């Protein structure tokens, strides 16, 4: 199943709920999860999650009774809370899809100070640290329980 199986209404609701989870922020200079590029990433990579995300969006539509974006803020928040509280695996999958696409966006990672690259092949540098911290453990010693 591909993202093409999401209806226009489902896509609209996905965009709306994504913005509720992670809104844009001027303070941190980051887009919201409803940003077009991040939404496009979600739809392009839904893959095996499509079925559960579609189910979650159907559940959301049932709870809201109208496109999410058309509800007033109070009603929208109430629907979102109900959805997250009782939505089970489907809701959790939808939220995870939103977050995993959001937190790999270049602009978002850049704002977090994370380099825009795969871990391999450059890797990372780890400080060796102060191994004198181990001196008290060595001084205390201790014993290994004996076996008969």
Partner 1 sequence: MKDPVDVLIIGAGASGAAVAWSLAETKMHILCLEQGGWMNPAEYPSTGRDWEAKFYGEWSSSPNVRGRPEDYPINDDNSPIKVVNYNAVGGSTVMYTAHWPRLHPSDFKVRTLDGVADDWPIDYDTLTPFFEENDRIMGTSGLSGDPRSPLTHPPMPQQPLGLSGAIIGKAMNKLGWHWWPSDTTVATMDYEGRARCINLGHCTPACAQGAKSSTDITYWPQAIRAGVELRTHCRVREITTDESGMASGVVYYDKDGIEQFQPAHVVIIACNGVGTPRLLLNSASSRFPNGLANSSGLVGKNLMFHPYAQIYGYVKEPTDSNRAPPTCLWSKEWYDTDPSRGFVRGYGVQFVRGAGPVFEAVVSEQKGILPWGEDHHRVFRKLNGHRLGFSAICEDLPEEHNRVTLDPVLKDSHGIPAPKIDYTISENSRKMMEHALARGREVLETAGATDICINSPIPWGGWHLLGTARMGTDPESSVVNEWGRTHDVKNLFIVDGSIFVTSGGVNPTSTIQALALYIADQMKQRLANLFD
SS3 content of the chain, % helix, strand, coil (to 5): 65, 0, 35
Q: Is 137 in the site for partner 1 (CB under 8 A)?
A: yes
Q: How far apart are CA 1 and CA 13, in angstroms?
A: 19
Contact status, residue 84 vs residue 99, Cβ threshold 8 Å:
no
Q: What angle do CA 42, 99, 41 make, to 5 degrees?
A: 20
Tokens of residue 105, six digits: 């966006």
Integer angstrom CA distances of residue 91 from 6, 30, 46, 56, 85: 15, 24, 14, 5, 9
Q: Is 130 in the site for partner 1 (CB under 8 A)?
A: yes
Q: Is 144 in the site for partner 1 (CB under 8 A)?
A: yes
Of 4, 48, 72, 74, the one binding partner 1 by CB under 8 A: 48
Of 2, 5, 7, 25, the one binding partner 1 by CB under 8 A: 25
Binding mask 81-120 for partner 1 (x = CB under 8 A): ---x-------x--xx--xxxxxx----x--x-x-xxxxx
Q: Is 127 in the site for partner 1 (CB under 8 A)?
A: yes
Tokens of residue 79, six digits: 């629907």
Nearer to partner 1 among residue 8 and residue 48 (C-beta): 48
Q: How far apart are CB 82 and partner 1 at their closest, in Å? A: 13
**C-alpha closest to that of 102 among 30, 53, 51:** 30
Q: How far apart are CB 29 and partner 1 at their closest, in Å? A: 10
Applying CB under 8 A, the residues found at the interface with partner 1 are: 20-23, 25, 27-28, 30, 45, 47-49, 80, 84, 92, 95-96, 99-104, 109, 112, 114, 116-131, 133-134, 136-138, 140-148
């Amino acid at each position: 199943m591909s993202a093409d199986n999401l209806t226009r209404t489902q896509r609209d609701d996905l965009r709306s709920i994504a913005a509720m989870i992670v809104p844009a922020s001027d303070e941190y200079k980051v887009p919201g999860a409803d940003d077009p590029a991040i939404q496009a990433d979600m739809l392009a990579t839904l893959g095996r999650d499509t079925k559960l995300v579609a189910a979650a969006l159907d559940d959301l539509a049932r709870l809201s009774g109208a496109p999410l974006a058309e509800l007033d803020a109070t009603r929208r928040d109430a629907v979102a809370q109900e959805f997250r509280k009782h939505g089970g695996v489907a809701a959790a999958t939808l939220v995870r899809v939103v977050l995993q696409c959001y937190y790999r966006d270049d602009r978002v990672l850049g704002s977090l100070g994370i380099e825009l690259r795969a871990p391999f092949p450059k890797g990372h540098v780890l400080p060796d640290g102060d191994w004198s911290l181990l001196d008290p453990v060595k001084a205390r010693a201790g014993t290994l329980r004996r076996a008969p």
